[in-house]
């Protein structure tokens, strides 16, 4: 998409500038101006929002009623400002996935499908100008120093032409389909020799395994994790095996939320989204997203289904933009146990992860599934020469102790060997709740 290049470069330059200069009052003023413009635009051009906001003061936009994925998908035709049909968009997106050809557009708009489980899929549409803004911003924030032309390998479940548009003079992008058999991916990577590899952590882990086996010879300068929760033990394994920094892009259908800075902290992209935070238990929050740029499919006061931990400390890089300490997972995956007084208590995915992993260093992989409150089914992978029962006992004790510590009744816990493998292209969720 050569014609978009000047626009991408212009956004790249402006994004660099904003990262440097938007602080304090200037940042708040910027967010306020852009949010008000977007709200006015959506009110005029998206019938859904016009109805949704009836009787509300549009200038106090942070008090407007929220939306979520269910509302967006149920009202797709009027949620967007171009009268694009959700049924048509979905058909195009599904056909594109089947044929692995992501060039078709709907009336000139790029269609993408988020990789939620079926039934929870999210559609997004973006025009060429929005794609250029996205590409310019993401390049400005991930290429911290532009000293030469980078070769980037980008592993995606589905290539939407949103991603291919970022190629050009600054950077050479090569897209790899996540469905590509691993040995072929390894052969192609060995030939391409990327300096940056971007992909979901489950894929990066497979590549780490190939590197340990000696079949993958690339020496990237940096890995970038996208699309799945990056758990601390995976981060450690990847940085150890590749010996390079691992950064994150936290982005979803609803917008570009956060990107790691050169110091490795995950900063909210405050010039791309204005976030409000709903407090959950402990230090956790769930974000409400207002995208400051998207006009085709305005994302305004959108409650994201994620659990975050924020960092109160300023970052060593000097930026005052909010740092996210951890993305814990989806709020759908919060598990519940019953307190002695008969109340349901929430156990966040991070708590479940810790009570399992900290109980034994032998655990190589785990999965925890809750089918009903008070119950937990745990699967473990151990090295072949490690007896299973002692580790299972130790996990059982750790789970019991943690649950008791939160004053909850003993749980119904089953522990078995063998973590089910995740099919290629499916998001890995180690902690899941499926009782809905």
* Torsion on CA atoms 169, 171, 175, 176, rounded to nearest 10: 150
* Token digits of residue 329: 């997972």
- Pattern of binders to Zn ion over 299-338, x per CB under 5 A? ----------------x-x-x-------------------
DSSP tag of 298: -
Window 65 to 104, contacts with Zn ion (CB under 5 A): none
At 19, which helix (H) or strand (E)?
helix 5-21
Provide the minimum distance between the beta carbon of 260 and Zn ion in the complex, in angstroms, as a whole number: 8
- In the bound state with Zn ion, the residue whose beta carbon lies nearer, of 202 and 319, is 319
Half-sphere exposure at residue 76, Cβ-oriented, CA atoms within 13 angstroms = 17
Window 365 to 424, contacts with Zn ion (CB under 5 A): none
Segment near Zn ion (CB under 5 A), from 115-123, 262-270, 331-339, 387-395? 262-270
- In the bound state with Zn ion, the residue whose beta carbon lies nearer, of 267 and 284, is 267
Window 202 to 261, contacts with Zn ion (CB under 5 A): 261
Contacts of 247 (CB under 8 A, 6+ apart): 142, 222, 223, 224, 225, 259, 260, 264
3 state DSSP class of 209: helix
Number of Cβ within 10 Å of residue 325's Cβ equals 14
Provide the minimum distance between the beta carbon of 276 and Zn ion in the complex, in angstroms, as a whole number: 22
Provide the minimum distance between the beta carbon of 329 and Zn ion in the complex, in angstroms, as a whole number: 23
* Token digits of residue 192: 């391409």
| Residue 4 near residue 132 (C-beta atoms within 8 A) | yes
Of positions 263, 310, 362, 400, contacts Zn ion by CB under 5 A: 263
Provide the minimum distance between the beta carbon of 52 and Zn ion in the complex, in angstroms, as a whole number: 36
Rg (C-alpha) for the chain, rounded Å, is: 22
Write down the residue that tokens 């992909």 correspond to: 199
- In the bound state with Zn ion, the residue whose beta carbon lies nearer, of 141 and 428, is 141
- In the bound state with Zn ion, the residue whose beta carbon lies nearer, of 76 and 321, is 321
| Residue 194 near residue 168 (C-beta atoms within 8 A) | no
Provide the minimum distance between the beta carbon of 319 and Zn ion in the complex, in angstroms, as a whole number: 5
Provide the minimum distance between the beta carbon of 267 and Zn ion in the complex, in angstroms, as a whole number: 5
Provide the minimum distance between the beta carbon of 12 and Zn ion in the complex, in angstroms, as a whole number: 19
According to the binding rule CB under 5 A, does residue 265 interact with Zn ion? Answer: yes
Provide the minimum distance between the beta carbon of 139 and Zn ion in the complex, in angstroms, as a whole number: 18
- In the bound state with Zn ion, the residue whose beta carbon lies nearer, of 267 and 433, is 267
3 state DSSP class of 90: helix
At 378, which helix (H) or strand (E)?
strand 375-381
- In the bound state with Zn ion, the residue whose beta carbon lies nearer, of 19 and 61, is 19
- In the bound state with Zn ion, the residue whose beta carbon lies nearer, of 84 and 258, is 258
Number of residues that bind Zn ion (CB under 5 A): 6
d(CA 26, CA 24): 6
| Residue 173 near residue 195 (C-beta atoms within 8 A) | no
Binding site for Zn ion (CB under 5 A): 261, 263, 265, 315, 317, 319
């Amino acid at each position: 998409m050569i014609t978009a290049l000047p626009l991408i470069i212009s956004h790249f330059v402006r994004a660099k500038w904003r990262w440097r200069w938007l602080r304090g009052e200037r940042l708040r003023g910027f967010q306020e101006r852009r949010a008000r413009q977007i709200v006015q635009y959506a009110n005029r051009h998206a019938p859904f929002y016009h109805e949704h906001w009836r009787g509300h003061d549009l200038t106090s936009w942070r008090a407007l009623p929220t939306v979520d994925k269910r509302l967006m998908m149920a009202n797709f035709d009027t949620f967007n400002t171009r009268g694009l049909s959700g049924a048509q968009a979905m058909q195009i997106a599904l056909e594109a996935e089947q044929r692995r050809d992501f060039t078709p557009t709907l009336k000139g708009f790029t269609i993408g499908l988020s990789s939620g489980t079926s039934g929870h899929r999210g559609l997004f549409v973006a025009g060429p100008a929005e794609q250029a803004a996205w590409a310019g911003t993401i390049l400005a924030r991930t290429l911290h120093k532009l000293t030469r032309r980078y070769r980037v390998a980008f592993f995606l479940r589905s290539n939407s032409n949103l991603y291919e548009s970022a190629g050009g003079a600054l950077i050479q992008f090569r897209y790899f389909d996540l469905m590509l058999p691993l040995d072929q991916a390894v052969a192609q990577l060995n030939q391409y020799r990327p300096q940056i590899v971007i992909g979901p952590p489950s894929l990066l882990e497979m590549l780490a395994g190939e590197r340990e086996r000696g079949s993958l010879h690339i020496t990237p300068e940096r890995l970038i994790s996208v699309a799945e929760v990056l758990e601390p033990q995976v981060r450690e394994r990847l940085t150890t095996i590749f010996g390079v920094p691992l950064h994150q892009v936290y982005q979803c259908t609803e917008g570009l939320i956060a990107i790691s800075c050169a110091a490795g902290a995950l900063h909210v992209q405050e010039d791309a989204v204005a976030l409000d935070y709903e407090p959950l238990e402990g230090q956790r929050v769930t974000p409400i997203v207002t995208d400051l740029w998207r006009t085709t499919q305005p994302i305004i006061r959108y409650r994201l289904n994620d659990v975050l931990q924020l960092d109160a400390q300023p970052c060593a890089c000097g930026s005052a933009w909010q740092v996210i300490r951890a993305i814990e997972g989806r709020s759908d995956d919060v598990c519940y146990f019953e307190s002695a007084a008969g109340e349901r208590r929430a156990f966040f995915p991070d708590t479940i992860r810790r009570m399992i992993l900290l109980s034994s260093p032998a655990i190589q992989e785990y999965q925890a599934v809750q089918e009903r409150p008070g119950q937990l089914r745990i699967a473990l992978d151990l090295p072949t020469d490690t007896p299973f029962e002692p580790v299972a006992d130790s996990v059982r004790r750790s789970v019991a102790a943690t649950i008791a510590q939160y004053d909850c009744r003993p749980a119904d816990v089953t522990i078995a060997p063998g973590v089910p493998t995740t099919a290629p292209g499916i998001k890995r969720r180690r902690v899941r709740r499926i009782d809905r």
